[in-house]
C-alpha cells in the first residue's frame, strides 16, 4: 500500500467504503452455473459512498514471456494523496467468437474488477476450511517443468508491481 497518513481524507474515505460497500453478485452465468459481480457493479456501489474523493482506474499492457497481460490499477484520490491496487489478467491467444479488441476488453474488465476488489477489500475467495474435502483424493504434484515456468512468470511480473 502507498504510504498514506491514516488521518488523511483519502484514507478515511477508503476505510468508509471498505466498511460500507455492498456489491452483491447479481450477475448469473447460466453456462458456468455461478454468480458474479462486474467492475461496473463495484463502481456503482462505491461511488455513492464517496464524499471528497474520486475513484479511477487505468490499464497498462505488459509483455511477460511473450504473453500479453493487462495490468489494471484501481485508485482512490483526494487530489493530493492516492491509494492504489493493481491486478493482472492474461489475454488468451484466441477466444471463439471474439475479435482481438474484445479479447483485450475482457482481460481489462477482469483485471479492473480484481484491482477494485483488492482496493476495497472485497474477498471473492472461499476459505479452504469451508469445504468438506473428506473422501477426495489428494491432487498429484505438478511436474517440476510446469512449476518452474509458473515461477518464472511470477518472477518476471514482480518487476512490474
Q: What is the pLDDT of residue 2?
A: 53
pTM of the model: 0.72
Residues of the chain with pLDDT under 50: 1, 127-132, 138-150, 153-154, 157-161
Q: What is the pLDDT of residue 135?
A: 54
The answer to whether the Cα torsion of 111, 112, 117, 123 is positive or negative is negative
Q: What is the pLDDT of residue 152?
A: 52
With CA atoms as reference, report the closest residue to 23 among 48, 1, 58. 48
Amino acid at each position: 500500500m502507498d504510504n498514506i497518513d491514516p488521518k488523511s481524507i483519502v484514507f478515511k474515505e477508503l476505510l468508509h467504503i471498505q466498511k460500507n460497500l455492498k456489491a452483491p453478485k447479481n450477475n448469473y452465468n447460466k453456462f458456468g452455473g455461478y454468480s458474479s459481480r462486474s467492475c461496473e457493479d463495484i463502481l456503482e456501489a462505491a461511488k455513492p459512498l464517496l464524499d471528497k474523493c474520486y475513484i479511477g482506474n487505468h490499464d497498462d499492457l505488459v509483455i511477460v514471456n511473450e504473453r500479453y497481460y493487462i495490468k489494471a490499477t484501481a485508485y482512490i484520490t483526494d487530489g493530493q494523496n492516492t491509494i492504489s491496487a493493481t491486478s493482472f489478467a492474461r489475454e488468451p491467444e484466441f477466444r471463439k467468437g471474439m475479435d482481438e479488441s474484445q479479447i483485450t476488453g475482457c482481460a481489462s474488465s477482469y483485471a479492473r474488477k480484481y484491482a477494485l476488489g483488492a482496493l476495497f477489500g472485497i474477498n471473492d475467495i472461499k476459505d479452504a476450511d469451508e469445504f468438506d474435502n473428506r473422501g477426495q483424493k489428494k491432487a498429484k504434484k505438478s511436474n517440476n517443468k510446469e512449476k518452474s515456468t509458473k515461477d518464472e512468470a511470477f518472477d518476471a511480473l514482480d518487476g512490474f508491481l
